[in-house]
Every structure is written in structure tokens, then in C-alpha cells.
Amino acid sequence: MNKILLISSGLEAIKDFVGRPPETLHMVFIPTAGNPDKDVWWIDKDRDVLTRMGFRYTELDLASTPTERLTESLNDVDLIYIAGGYTYYLLEQIRNTGFDTVLAKFMERGRLYVGASAGALIAGPDIEPCSSLDDPKYGPSLTSTKGIGLIDIVPMPHYDMSERSSAIEAIIAKYKDAYKVVPITDDEAIVSDGIDWHKVTSKRSKLEHAWFEKAH
């Protein structure tokens, strides 16, 4: 059973991935990776698109939620969505709160994980390969760059962005003996059951393109 969906930007694949009407699922939406930025348009975009898709969700900011409440926050939850942003900051908050342990137990119950951009990167074995694209200074207390290990590849989002494509190719070459680095464009996603994985199409909708054009 596929239980992990890692996307770059487009959210189209989520409906097929969950396999049920969105309104029948309870999602927890984690916007934490955007905290270092004041203008989090991409997170606002995700909120808008997911709502229009029919998902009902509860927001959970790891940075402001007491550790003892995290497990309780996932009771009766079918699906976790971790939005993009600052990868090192996100991993730092996951480690500081013990959310990695909480998430592992959540996944053991057969629940679903969707990670976008930074939320996709932290699902792999290590975030070090993204250090040239995502400033490590945003995770100053991290003592390890190991990811949460839901999948054994390193997804590298936004491969089709002109300012990132050559950098990602350099990352693939640099880490080829250490990790399987898999680039994904903003219209692609990776689906996995935790062992095997494959790419799927996850195109950005007209609404998502409108958000992008407004932000730029």
C-alpha cells in the first residue's frame, strides 16, 4: 500500500494518493517550515488549494505546540501534510520536539504522509545534499542532518526551476556514491510504500499557477 507522497509543488496527485473523497479524511497541516519567512505565499497557496479540493484540516505548528500535545494532536488523523519552506529549520523543530518519534508511531498505524518541498526532503535519509540550496544556518541546534527516513532516496524538489537545475545536477554527481538523489519537477511527485517508489504526475492547477504569478 502506498503511504508516502513526496511532491515538489503541484498538489494534483494528492487526491489519487488518498484514494477516498477528501471530505472523509482528517488531515493535519504542518506549516512550520515557513516560520523563518514573513511572506509565506506558498503555504497560503497550499491552504487555498487543499480547501478547494475538499480536504478538512487542522493546523499544527511544531514550534509552538508543547511536546506532550503532539501525540494527542494526531489522534483520529488520517493524513499528515508537511508544507515546504526552510528544510534545516523544519528538521530542527522535528528533532527538538520529538515529532520524529511521534510520526514513526503514526506511520506504524498505516496512516498517510504527504511532504511538499522541504517536507519531502526531510522524509529521506539525510538532508545534507540540499545544503547548497537551503542554508544550514536556519537549523543552528542540529547535531545531525539525518532525515526521518521514511524512504531511502533523497528527493530533490524544483528541478525545473532554472536557478536550481544545474545545482541539483551537481548535487547528484557529488553524492552519487552515498545516496540515490532523485530530482522532481514542480509537476512531478514520488509515491512510495516505504520500500519501492515511483514517480507520478502532479501538475500544478490554474489556481496554483495564479498564486505563483501573484507572488512573483
Segment 158-168, tens digit of pLDDT? 999 888 999 99
Q: Which domains does the chain have, with CATH numbers?
A: 4-215 (3.40.50.880)
pLDDT one-digit tens code per residue, 173-187: 999 999 999 999 999
In order of 25, 37, 117, the CA distances from 154 in angstroms are 28, 24, 11
Express each pLDDT in 98-113 by its tens digit. Answer: 999 999 999 999 999 9
Q: Taking Cα atoms as reference points, which of 161, 151, 135, 108 lies closest to residue 33?
A: 135
Query: pTM (2 decimals)?
Result: 0.95
How confident is the model over 23-46, as a mean pLDDT?
Answer: 96
pLDDT of res. 79? 97
User: Residue 216: pLDDT above 90?
Assistant: no
pLDDT at 150 over 90: yes
Does position 190 have pLDDT exceeding 70, yes or no? Answer: yes
pLDDT of residue 1: 66
* Average confidence score pLDDT of the chain: 94
Confidence of residue 206 (pLDDT cuts 50, 70, 90): confident
Q: Per-residue pLDDT for 60 more than 70?
A: yes
